[in-house]
Amino acid sequence: MYMKDRQAEKIIEILSKEHSYYKDLLELSNKKKSIVIEGKVSELDKIVRVEQNMIFDLGQLEKIREQEVQKLCAMLQLEGRTNVAELIKHLPQQLSAQLKSLQQELGDTITALQNVNNLNGQLIQQSLDYIEYSVNMITSAGPANSLYEDLKGVSKGTESKKRLFDTKV
């Protein structure tokens, strides 16, 4: 039973590291919100780069966690792909309580991160919409038909409107 407990502790340690990364990502996302509101593009770029590195590291941790979970499943003789919720049922009380608590905290942090990221996405979309509107206003506010313009398009009574952004990202 000692090896199984040790393996479960490894999983708990990895999940703790993942939770720490997610909390850091949440903090960065909150900073990103104020930076988007203030329109500080260079600072936003820096934060996005840091986030990308953290997400890469999280992916590596996730791979390791999956491997360790599979090892524990083999030790516990559990068949198929087993998740943390299923493992909790097969561990001693102390380890299962620790794992369950960590799972809840991690879920709460991820939910908060999703909410902040959704808000940031909406703020960025509003900024892009405003930029598109402004550029379209500037490009359509040129001089009225001048004497030296090519009037081919205008002779039919239709004016072609210039748009710099025709599609949304």
* pLDDT recorded at residue 90: 86
Quick one: tokens of 74? 């083999």
Set out the domains of the chain in order of their start, with CATH numbers.
Answer: 2-140 (1.20.58)
Q: Which residues of 87-112 are buried (b: 16+ CB within 10 A; e: fewer)?
A: bbebbeeebeebbeebbeebeebeee
Residues 53-65 have a mean pLDDT of 95
Question: Where would I find the H helices in 39-154?
Answer: 41-75, 84-88, 93-140
Average pLDDT over residues 130-151: 68
More confident call, 86 vs 163: 86
**How much of the chain, in percent, has pLDDT values that exceed 90?**
46
Query: By the 8 A CB rule, do 134 and 39 touch?
Result: no
Mean pLDDT of 106-133: 90
- How much is the pLDDT for 61? 96
| Mean pLDDT on 10-28 | 95
At a CB cut-off of 8 Å and minimum separation 6, what does 141 contact? none
pLDDT of residue 95: 92
Q: Report, as an integer, the average pLDDT of 9-24.
A: 96
Which residues neighbour 50 within 8 Å (Cβ) at sequence distance 6 or greater?
A: 28
**pLDDT on residue 86:** 83
Q: Which residue has the higher pLDDT, 89 or 140?
A: 89
pLDDT for the residue 41: 85
Query: Cβ–Cβ contacts within 10 Å for residue 127, how many?
Result: 14
The 10s digit of each residue's pLDDT in 60-112 is 999 999 999 989 888 888 877 678 888 888 889 999 999 999 999 999 999 99
pTM above 0.75, yes or no: no
| Look-up of token digits 């780069």 | 49
